[in-house]
Amino acid sequence: MRELFRANLSRLGKDLTTIAELVHRAADDARAALETADVHRAEQVISEDARIDRLQEQLDEQAIQLLALHAPVASDLRTVVATLRMSTSLERMGDLARHIAQLTRLRYPELVIPESIRPTFHAMADATVDAAAQVVLLLETQDLGHADSLSELNETVNEHHVSVFRAIGAPSWTESAATTTDVTLASRYLERFTDHAVSVAGKMRYLVTGQMPTHQSA
C-alpha cells in the first residue's frame, strides 16, 4: 500500500509539471499573438486552455483521493496540500494567458497595444514568459533559487505595470477609450500572471521547508 501511495504521489508531481509546461507554452504563444496580431496563435491559446482546465480538475481529483484513501501525514500531507493549491494558481495563469489571446482576437487585424507603449509591454510579456519557465524548473527541481528568480521577475512586472498607468494618466495620452481599456486589461492580466507564479513559489517554499509563506505589506 505504501509503494502505491508513493507512486501516486510521484505521478501527482509529474502531472503538475505537465500543467506548468502547458501554461508556459500558452504564455509564450499569447505573447507572440499580442505582439504580432497573430489570430491563429491566439485561437490556439484559447482552445488549449480547456486542456489545462481538464488536467487541473483531474489532478485535484487524484489529490483528494490520496487524502481520502491514505490519510497522509507530515511531509506527505504537505505535498498533497501544496499540490492542490499550486494547481489552482497554474489554472489561473492559463486563464490569464487566454485573456491576452482573447484581446488579440477581439482587435484583429489591429494590434492591441499602441506604438507609444509597446516597449513596456514587450518587457512585461518577456518577464511573464520567463516566470512561467521558472515555474516549470521550480516544480522539476524544487530548487528554491527559482523561487527567488520569480520574486525578482514579479517586481519587474509590477514596475512596468505602474508605468503603464502613469502613461495612461499623462496629458500626452490621446488614445481612444477602447484602446485605453485594452491596455489597462492587458497590463493587469500580465501583472496577475506573475502574482500567481509567485504564489506557486510560496507553496513550494512551504513544501520544501515546512514553513508557511508570510505576507508582507506593500
pLDDT score of 217: 41
pLDDT band at 214 (very low <50, low <70, confident <90, very high): low
Whole-number pLDDT of residue 32: 98
Q: Choose among 38, 8, 35: nearest CA to 123.
A: 35
Q: Write down the pLDDT at residue 30.
A: 98
Kindly tell me the burial class for residue 202, based on how many C-beta atoms sit within 10 Å of its own C-beta (0-12, 13-18, 19 or more): buried
Q: What pLDDT is attached to residue 44?
A: 97
User: At residue 122, does pLDDT exceed 70?
Assistant: yes
Q: Cα 196–156–213 angle (5° rounding)?
A: 40
Residues 6+ positions from 94 with CB-CB distance below 8 Å? 19, 22, 23, 26, 49, 52, 53
pLDDT, average across residues 27-42: 98
CA gap 96, 203 in Å, rounded: 20
Higher pLDDT, 70 or 97: 97
- Residue ranges and CATH numbers for the domains of the chain are 2-209 (1.20.58.220)
- Give 156-213 pLDDT, tens digit per residue: 999 999 999 999 999 999 999 999 999 999 999 999 999 999 999 999 999 888 876 6
pLDDT surpassing 70 at residue 216: no
Name residues whose C-beta falls within 8 Å of residue 211's C-beta, 6 or more positions apart in sequence: 205
pLDDT in tens, 126-161: 999 999 999 999 999 999 999 999 999 999 999 999
